[in-house]
Structure 1
Amino acid sequence: MGISDHNLSGKQKRNIAHFASVVRLAKADGFLSEGEEVLLKRLAKRFHILEEKYKEILNNPEDYPIYTPHSYEERIEHLYDLAKMVFADNEATGDEAKVLKKICVGLGFPIDNVEKVADEAIHLVLNDNDLDEFTNAIKKVNKI
């Protein structure tokens, strides 16, 4: 994280941290596919991440902490973005699933339920569920 990052708003810092988590997941298999790059560009635009910061995060995503949203709804939305990244290249590797589970813990999902939550998230994205369907299904699986 550069010195200029200290002047960012709280929301922008959260967006950058979330984006870095998505990048870590995208790079879990060692490379970025065309589909992953397209999704990353779309998320960067949605999070108002400038090109220079985009490249910095892409090169060193581990330099940014995992941000745990306070709201349960936000955590599920972040999980949705991450699960979509797993399949951005139309395949899921064991490494990507492993990283997704670690990030689920970082997002605040209970450790004893992370496997169920991550598996359900992957299943829902595979079946092209929208965010509302995804949210309802994750709430059923997580039962907090």
Structure 2
Amino acid sequence: MSRHDFYENIRNSTRLNHFANLVNLAAIDGDIKPIEEKLLKRFSRKFDVSEENYEKILENPASFPVHAINLKTQRLEFLFDLLRIVYVDNKMDEAEEFLIRKYAVGLGFSEEQALVVINKSKKLFENNFSFDFYQHFIESDED
């Protein structure tokens, strides 16, 4: 396996896990509502999830549980990866933001921390930047 193939497999796996985590969060309060399913379908296209994987994940979202992460840097990195995918079309609508906030809480951010991080992230994601810059900006005390 070439280096490119190896990293492409990791990227695909990460996208699939992020998508599965979003499905799991949407299903956390019982059945997935039609509005949530419509949003998940949109995310599946952004994440480049095959129809087969989409159906498999929807059938059993609990098989991909969201695990809280103790390291703040790791939580930010997961959120950063997800936001890069969300912003592939240069925007995040209210429904996407709601689900992203749930995802951030699932990663271990408090509700308040999630709101601050999401608001700061929205200011940044109109431009291209590195994870190091993102982490520094998020962890700064400026709003």
Distance 1:128 1:97, change over 3 A: same
Query: 5+ unaligned residues in a row in structure 2: which ranges?
Result: 1-13, 27-36
RMSD: 3.6
Partner Cα separation in structure 1 for residue 47 and residue 22 of structure 2: 8
For 1:115, the equivalent position in structure 2 comes to 115
Give the match for residue 83 of structure 1.
Answer: 83
Q: How many pairs does the alignment contain?
A: 118
Corresponding residue of 2:132: 132
Q: So what's the TM-score if we normalise by structure 1?
A: 0.61
Paired-residue identity, %:
25
* Structure 1 residues without counterparts, runs of 5 or longer: 1-14, 45-50
| Equivalent position amino acid for 2:61 in 1 | E
Question: Which structure 1 residue ranges, 4+ long, deviate > 6 Å from structure 2?
Answer: none
Higher gyration radius (CA): 2
Please list, as runs of the form range in 1=range in 2, the aligned pairs for 1:1-144 lying within 5 A after superposition: 17-21=17-21, 29-32=39-42, 37=45, 40-41=47-48, 56-57=56-57, 59-60=58-59, 62-63=61-62, 64-141=64-141
Post-superposition Cα deviations, 1:72-104, rounded to whole Å, max 9, x if no partner, equal 211110010121222123332101001111111
C-alpha separation between the residues in 2 aligned to 1:28 and 1:124? 26
